[in-house]
Amino acid sequence: MRRLALTLGAIVITLLTTFAFAPTASAHSALVSSDPADGSSVSAGPPTVTLTFNEPLQESFPALTVVGPDRNYWQDGEPTVTGRSVSTQLRELGPAGEYLINYRVTSADGHPVEGQLTFTLTTAGQGTPGASVDDDDESSSSGIPVWPFIVVAVVVFGGGLAVALRLQRRN
Ligand SMILES: [Cu+2]
């Protein structure tokens, strides 16, 4: 009975450790506002897209893309982080319809935060799009590799299991 309790205890500790190391989704830096606002309609594209968060962001590896109803990119250049905001230049827009703003930033505490907003262009513009999303699937998706977390989880879990088995054998 005592042996079983030790084993179960080791497994519980292992699981807790695993979850502590796992990437937590989004309770860190929170988006508080955007320009254009989420769900808004505009008759002409704004020159820049800016997202503002509740706390300063880290400047490493921001991602901010704007994808049109034609599945082309409409942002121009790389995003920049300034304090609590991340922004990117926007091309003159093209077809009317729904544009998706995809973002990924790094919280002050080092955790990635990502999400998606939309706005609707009501009057088509004359702009020329950037690359097609479909030509660029790998770098455009969330982009954060999952495998390091899996490796850590497996190593931690395996280590915990070894300890549990050894405790069991010793008794
Ligand atoms: Cu965090």
How many angstroms is it from 108 CA to the middle of ligand 1? 8
How many angstroms is it from 109 CA to the middle of ligand 1? 5
Q: What is the pLDDT of residue 138?
A: 57
How many angstroms is it from 106 CA to the middle of ligand 1? 9
What pLDDT, in 10s, does the model give residues 143-160?
556 667 667 777 777 887
How many angstroms is it from 105 CA to the middle of ligand 1? 11
CA distance 51 to 146: 25
What pLDDT, in 10s, does the model give residues 33-59?
999 999 999 999 999 999 999 999 999
0.85 cut: is pTM over it? no
Quote the mean pLDDT of the chain: 85
Q: What is the pLDDT of residue 25?
A: 46
Q: Which amino acid is at 104?
A: R
18 by Cβ neighbours in 10 Å (0-12 / 13-18 / 19+) ranks as middle
User: Cβ(64)–Cβ(75) under 8 Å?
Assistant: yes
CA distance 124 to 85: 28
How many angstroms is it from 126 CA to the middle of ligand 1? 41
Task: Identify which has the larger pLDDT, 12 or 161.
Answer: 161
